[in-house]
Amino acid sequence: MKLSRQITVLGSAIFCVVIFSLYLMLDRGQFDQPKSPRREGALPKGQLSILQDKIDHLERLLAENNEIISNIRDSVINLSESVKDGQKNSDSQNFSRGSSSQLEPSAPAFLPINNEDCQFASVTGGHKSNVQMLDVYDILPFDNPDGGVWKQGFDISYDEHEWDNEPLQVFLVPHSHNDPGWLKTFDDYFRDQTQHILNNMVIKLQEDKNRKFMWSEISYFSKWWDGIDNQKKEAVKRLIELEQFEIVTGGWVMPDEATPHYFSLVDQLIEGHQWLEKNLGVKPKSGWAIDPFGHSPTMAYILKSSGLSNMLIQRVHYSIKKYFASKQTLEFFWRQNWDLGHSTDILCHMMPFYSYDVPHTCGPDPKICCQFDFKRLPGSRVSCPWRVPPEVINEGNVQHRAWMILDQYRKKSKLYRTKVLLVPLGDDFRYTDSLEWDQQYENYQKLFSYMNSHPELHVKAQFGTISDYFKALRKAGNVDDPNSQSFPVLSGDFFTYADRDDHYWSGYFTSRPFYKRLERVMESHLRAAEILYSFALVQMNKFDKLQSFPSVEHYKLLTEARRNLGLFQHHDAITGTAKDWVVVDYGTRLFHSLMNLKRVIIDAAHVLVLKDKDTYAYNPSSPFFSMDDVQPSQDSLPQKTVIKITEIPRYLTVYNPTEQERYSVVSVYVSSSKVKVISASGKALKAQISAVWNGDSAPLQDMYQVSFLAYLPALGLAVYKLVEAENSESIKADYTIFVQGKHKNINSDGNFRIKEVNIVVGDVTIENTYLKLWFSSSGLLEKIQSKEDGKTHGVKVDFIWYGTTNNRDKSGAYLFLPDGEAKPYINADPPVVRVTHGSIFSEVVVFFKHLTHTVRLYNVHGLEGQSPEITNVVDIRGEFNREIVMRITSDINSKHRFYTDLNGYQIQPRRTLSKLPIQANVYPMTSMAYIQDDASRLTLHSAQSLGVASSKSGQLEVFLDRRLMQDDNRGLGQGVQDNKITSNLFRLLLEKRFGKDEKEDEKPVSYPSILSHITSMFLNHPVIPMAATSDSGSSVLLNAFLPLTSSMPCDVHLLNLRTIQAKVGPIPSDEAALILHRKGFDCKFSNKDLGLLCSTTQGKVSVHRLFNGFNIESLIPSSLTLMHSSSNSKNTTEIRISTMDIKTFRIKLR
């Protein structure tokens, strides 16, 4: 009893200190809106409103006081129980802080943002770029005149004496581009081609020390490595030491750069680099990306942060290539738009011509260059389209042939600033047979020997790797001299790509959207599994009884999942541009790994949430928890699991994968409509019981949905109980179904009030404390009112179709070639509209022929109540050459500007240009797009990558699915006809803006608000509910598992906590990679009542106050992919991260 009293006093004291601190912070004006220079004059009115806000805030705190005190009383019981338990088992007491799990914190009325954290988004300039891609788009006419032999360029001339004083240095770089799946599956390509290329590489490079070769895809290389003997492995290591063989980039794949999320881009690079470290001890220096369809600065940032110094890109709009060639800016330092210094600069080489094949790499004339692709010698299966074949080089023709190719080399070198020239020599799956190695290397060696022995030619030609080239380029350009201005600085991105005419590659931003969504679901599960597994591994090492936890088996599952997700980032996988059966292979890999990740999650959660670790037993055939949903097959939507409830309480554990505490609505299916949700402290929670529907108007009789608001600790697990019981806190939803003239026989089991109405008369509305939404008679959103200021905005949702052009070239997997403006989506009959009104959420569902469209509004305080959730379940399997689009039309005066994210990492301003066709103004959206004017911003948050456009002021168009009956002549050889029933998920966030920077519209940067960032995070990382299996017996669970002492700062995202492999064997080490990203955010938005349980700290994270129940044994900074750590790296006690940076630390927990 004495202990209880002490705890009560302690709890009350802590509460008083917190309240007093909050008051002091208020008093010091910490919650003021960041000052804008233009507002400093208007003091009195501003001060009054601030004072009023402070008084309101204190009133709210006092009002919440009673509830908090009663919560403290509740939690004392749990605390004393925890302490008693802790006397028996000191290690687990930290995880059962009853006070923290039950004292549901009230979010501050104002978000405590440090003023200095606001500076980043408002600072302009810094080191300005010489080339800003937004300006280039403005300048270019995007015409397409015939350039002669270089069709998309211009005639190149030179003076023969230009190289008299400094000879031309030519690096011929042999390579083979191996797609990990495209026209064949990964395994089929490996069997038929890739293994032979690598086997020949070992033999052929050893024949002559002048020969060079390079490789990028570790997915293939690791598979080959696992099958070769030690003698061959040693030969490869020798070739690497001799610099004859180079690994470039070192990622699992050469990823697409438009559709992947940065989590996956980083993860596949770590997987490749970790494999290299373990097996070869190699650290790539240069990036090589010759085939992704457009290029993102996010990739440049990731490579630079991983310790690479150089990179090469190829697929860039032909007009940009021509413009850069004319200005000699094809080589540049690529700098991030947001970089105020030059820390992100990476030296980048852009290839100048149409393709990376041999006809388009030696110089401007493909007809000549093709004659120097010696695989195409007469008698070969491949020939030159220009009908002039190559000739074997011999004494009789070497002089003439050397002059021919040297002329091409010289012309190509005129497009660059130095006298160092890169000439790639390769194509898809080249060098498969021994003959090709001999044909290419022997004939080129004869040409080089002739050139190099004739000083009057002023050329030095040799085989090289890409790093040989960059080393010579850096020397020639005097790059290491800080005053050198050899190369311009460029900022911006290279979307949307066109390779010829009006053929814009904006179709693949959306192609196969089912798998783009599945990939994002798997990504969030992988991250959740990584984090829980890392914690479980530490726990396992503390308790003898936990030794049966299958750590090695699960580490293999995690590794396989990393690799399957990595494989899917390939530029013909996530893009939706592979053959049907290859898509099935990718989908099957994702599907199997998703199931395995769910196993890791439930097994790790069991370890972490079990109260008495001595009772732990691992039983693979009867897991402790079951997952909330099950996906029956690789191409079907997940189905909710029905939890059987009885009078015996059933545990429901909910995992929060985000690093901020959160209030989230948890919805699960149960077997009875009489259900009570009980918190860990034994309190019945307010819940909504909803019908589960079969179609538009038939409620199922044997399953129901229960929804409740859960408080979830950061990265933690909260425990609830479900029991079958009558309960006044569980309130059933009401339904109105507008049948629009259709006869529906609605057969309710008497559980729900269901009102059938023939047609919509008057307004259909749903609302909560933040918003009121109006819908049209066809059930589509029309208006949104923000209750904060009472202002109503026209925000209309409708659907439209794009067709494909009548020209010879039509839309396909890659290309979007529409037949003009979009046509409205018209349903033959008015759709059935079902309106739900409930205590936790209300929603409007519309049933069209091709899609079911839902707008749901959560009636909860905090983040989830501030934006409606939009779901579309799309089925266009019966359509012919059509693309379906959701269009949002608002009264926001956005003019021709809109903003899309790049890889979920940064925002890129866009301009809809009238000089470009419709398809050119479509851009990739990985996680968000927004439009804004001086007063408002409207953000569409997306839980999958899709194409997006803004064809008129105030509009956003997002592509949902596309079905195309023909190939678009880019090598795939088929259309896109394997459509699935596809679900996509969005949130629509309307925010009020305060103040605007001068010339903001011209700035090349923009940032989401904190609210927007965390909305995106919650959408992409939903909570994971797990029900204890009914026979989990008498196991007692903790009230909660709380791995962090508190929320991390609002602007710091824990990208991953990824257990690192051991040096030997496929087993985990005792280290993990802690990867943190500090996000840039815009402060000019309402700071009031956001319901966020976090603050900002200028990028500082105190290491020893980070984890709860875990001690940090060591924390050592590293490069992004763990490849480099500085020689003086030592234990860090405080983490400091600059805005926008992603930092990796090697962490040991115990």
d(CA 803, CA 814): 15
The answer to the question of residue 645 being in a domain is no
Angstrom distance (rounded) from CA 455 to CA 164? 10
Cα angle for residues 659, 665, 666 (degrees, 5° grid): 95
Among residues 718, 720, 707, the alpha carbon closest in space to that of 673 is found at 707
How many degrees, rounded to 5, is the angle at CA 817 between CA 898 and CA 501? 95
Instruction: Give the tokens for residue 779.
Output: 């059930």
What is the DSSP-derived secondary structure letter of residue 507?
Answer: S
For residues 202 and 236, the answer to whether their CB atoms sit within 8 Å is yes
Domain extent at residue 467: 158-481
Token representation of residue 962: 């596309």
Check residue 77 and give its pLDDT: 34
Q: Is 1091 within 8 Å of 663 (Cβ atoms)?
A: yes
In a domain, 679, yes or no: no
Asked if 250 and 173 sit in the same domain, the reply is yes
- pLDDT tens digit sequence for 470-522: 999 999 999 988 788 899 999 999 999 999 999 999 999 999 999 999 999 99
CATH number reported for the structural domain that contains residue 1127 in this entry: 2.60.40.1360
Task: Supply the DSSP symbol for 1106.
Answer: T
User: Is 86 in the same domain as 208?
Assistant: no
Q: Are residues 75 and 201 in the same domain?
A: no
Tell me the backbone φ, ψ of residue 778, rounded to 5 degrees: -95, 15
- Same domain for 365 and 431, yes or no, is yes
Whichever domain contains 801, its CATH number is 2.70.98.30
**Domain match, 232 and 330 both:** yes
Does 364 share its domain with 435? yes
Note whether 200 and 90 are same-domain residues: no
Does residue 593 belong to any structural domain of this protein? Answer: no
Q: Is residue 872 within 8 Å of residue 852, measured between CB atoms?
A: yes
**Cβ 121 vs Cβ 1082: under 8 Å:** yes
- State both tokens at 4: 């209880």
Peptide bond into 496 cis (omega under 30): yes
Sort strands 687-694 and 698-712 into parallel, antiparallel or unpaired: antiparallel
Which residues, including other chains, have CB under 8 Å from residue 529's CB and lie 6 or more apart? Answer: 558, 561, 597, 600, 601, 604
In a domain, 1080, yes or no: yes
Question: Is 216 domain-assigned?
Answer: yes
Q: Which residue has the tokens 């997952």?
A: 627
User: Which residues are catalytically annotated?
Assistant: 291
> Which of the listed residues 481, 516, 550 is the one where a domain comes to its end?
481
Q: 948 with 1084, same domain?
A: no
DSSP string computed for 13-53: HHHHHHHHHHHHHHHTTTTSPPP-GGGTT-HHHHHHHHHHH
- Domain count of the fold of the chain: 4
Rg (CA), the chain: 31
Tokens for 205? 């490079």
Structure pTM?
0.92
Collapsed DSSP state (helix, strand, coil) of residue 426: strand
How far, in Å, CA of 56 to CA of 61, rounded? 9
Same domain, 341 and 470: yes
**Token pair for 755:** 């009102």
* Whether residues 167 and 286 fall in one domain: yes
| Beta partners for residue 191, in sequence order | none
Domain assignment present for residue 1081? The answer is yes
* DSSP secondary structure letters along 984-1002: EEEEEEEEEB----TTGGG
Residues 492, 908 contacting (CB under 8 angstroms)? yes
Which of 439, 464, 481 is where one domain is finished?
481
**Strand, helix or coil for residue 969:** coil
154-204 pLDDT per residue, tens: 999 999 999 999 999 999 999 999 999 999 999 999 999 999 999 999 999
Let me know whether 976 and 1104 are in one domain: no
Neighbouring-strand partners of residue 382: none
User: 446, 481, 516 — which closes off a domain?
Assistant: 481
- At 1044, give phi and psi (nearest 5°): -105, 150
1058 and 1014 part of one domain = no
End-to-end CA distance of the chain: give it in Å, rounded.
33
* Helix, coil or strand: residue 518: helix
564 lies in some domain? no
| CATH number of domain containing 288 | 3.20.110.10
Could you say which residues of the chain have pLDDT below 70?
A: 1-109, 124-127, 1030-1034
Q: Are 985 and 944 in contact (CB under 8 A)?
A: yes
Q: Is residue 713 part of a domain?
A: no
DSSP 178-224: --SSSSS-HHHHIIIIIHHHHHHHHHHHHH-TT--EEE--HHHHHHH
